[in-house]
């Protein structure tokens, strides 16, 4: 899997790919990488989030309280990992629930950060994006609970 710079109008090697003419051409195209996590002493498959998963991941981050839009980054990294960490066959390793996120939260944080960085890159997110959003929106109470079981 080659890392491409999607910000440029001309992607190197793009001529070898067909022009999209049918949605079925891209349904099975999800980028994934196998990452060695020294802190966890194992390899983990990290998958790119689909558009639907990305929206579901972002949804609890934004809340309207009174007339104010607020941003909650509570367990943000762990929720991202719940969507992105998969088996080789593509099944999620942890569910995106309070329990699944709590289980992920018990793992060494160095490994979580390594995997989250990979998941953000694959899904077109960056730490800078989150920091910029946080600067434009006020922060919420870190004890706010936005998950459903």
What confidence tens digit (pLDDT) does each residue in 19-30 have? Answer: 778 777 776 677
What's residue 1's pLDDT?
47
pTM exceeding 0.75:
no
Is there a domain that residue 78 lies in? yes
Domain count, the chain: 1
Query: Which CATH number covers residue 126?
Result: 3.30.2220.20
What phi, psi does 121 have (nearest 5°)?
-60, -45
Residue 107 lies in a domain: yes
Q: What is the pLDDT of residue 56?
A: 85
Q: Which residues contact 45 (CB under 8 A, 6 or more apart)?
A: 32, 33, 34, 35, 85, 86, 87, 88
In a domain, 6, yes or no: no
Domain with 88, as residue range(s), is: 27-139
| 22 assigned to some structural domain | no
Residues in the chain: 149
DSSP states along 118-138: HHHHHTT--HHHHHHHHHHSE
Asked if the structure places residue 110 within a domain, the reply is yes
Q: Give the chain's residues under pLDDT 50.
A: 1-2, 9, 131-132, 134, 137-146, 148-149
Q: Is residue 135 part of a domain?
A: yes
Question: Is 7 part of a structural domain of the chain?
Answer: no
58 three-state secondary structure = helix
Task: Decide if 10 is inside a domain.
Answer: no
């Amino acid at each position: 899997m080659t890392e491409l710079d999607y910000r440029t109008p001309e992607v190197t090697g793009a001529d070898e790919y067909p022009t999209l003419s049918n949605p079925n051409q891209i349904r099975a195209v999800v980028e994934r990488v196998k990452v060695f996590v020294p802190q966890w002493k194992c390899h983990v498959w990290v998958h790119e989030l689909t558009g639907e998963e990305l929206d579901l991941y972002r949804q609890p981050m934004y809340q309207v309280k009174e007339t104010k839009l607020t941003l909650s980054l509570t367990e943000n990294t762990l929720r991202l990992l719940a969507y992105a960490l998969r088996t080789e066959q593509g099944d999620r390793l942890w569910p995106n629930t309070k329990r699944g996120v709590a289980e992920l939260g018990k793992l060494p944080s160095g490994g979580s950060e390594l995997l989250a960085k990979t998941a953000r890159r694959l899904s077109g997110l960056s730490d800078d994006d989150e920091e910029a959003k946080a600067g434009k929106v006020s922060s919420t109470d870190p004890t706010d609970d936005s998950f459903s079981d």
